Amino acid sequence: MAKGTSLQDPFLNTLRKDRIPVSIFLINGIKLQGTIESFDQFVIVLNNNSNQMVYKHAISTIVPSKNVNTQNFEND
């Protein structure tokens, strides 16, 4: 499991800490927008005037509003 999260966790944590607005596309085509408040192994809490819990298994794509430097992320 740790191998699968070696890129995901630092990426999401950077988006959360820097409060970078994101667009999250779900597998059913719905687009959600906001900032990531928190996340764990199974969910992301997205804030856009109110908190919304999104299950990771329902997410297709996360698109940040600006580039995120991934060079320093650990990648096993």
Output the pTM of the full model.
0.85
Task: Break the chain into its structural domains and give their ranges.
Answer: 2-64
pLDDT in tens, 11-37: 999 999 999 999 999 999 999 999 999
Question: b/e for 51-60, b at 16 or more Cβ within 10 A?
Answer: eeebeeeeee
Average pLDDT of the segment spanning 31-51: 97
CATH architecture of the domain with range 2-64: Roll (2.30)
What integer pLDDT is reported at residue 40 of this predicted model? Answer: 96
* pLDDT at position 1 over 50: no
pLDDT in tens, 51-66: 999 999 999 999 999 9
